[in-house]
Amino acid sequence: VQAKFRSLNCDSCDKNFGQFKLCEIKAVNRSLNLINIIYKFNGLLDNTSRASGWRPFLYDIKFELCELIEKGKPYVANLLFGYIKPYTNLNQTCPKQPGFEFKMQNYKLNMELFRQRFPIDAGEYAVNLKFFNKQLLRFIVNGSISYTNYKD
Nearest Cα residue to 103 out of 52, 39, 49: 39
pLDDT one-digit tens code per residue, 46-101: 544 444 444 444 566 777 778 888 888 888 888 888 888 999 998 778 877 888 89
Cβ proximity of 52 and 25 under 8 Å: no
Beta bridge partners of 19: 40
Q: Does the predicted TM-score (pTM) go above 0.85?
A: no
The CATH code that applies to domain 2-148 is: 2.60.40
pLDDT one-digit tens code per residue, 6-20: 999 999 999 998 999
pLDDT at 46 (0 to 100): 56
pLDDT at 90 (0 to 100): 85
Mean pLDDT of 145-152: 76
Q: Domain boundaries in the chain?
A: 2-148
Cβ proximity of 111 and 4 under 8 Å: no
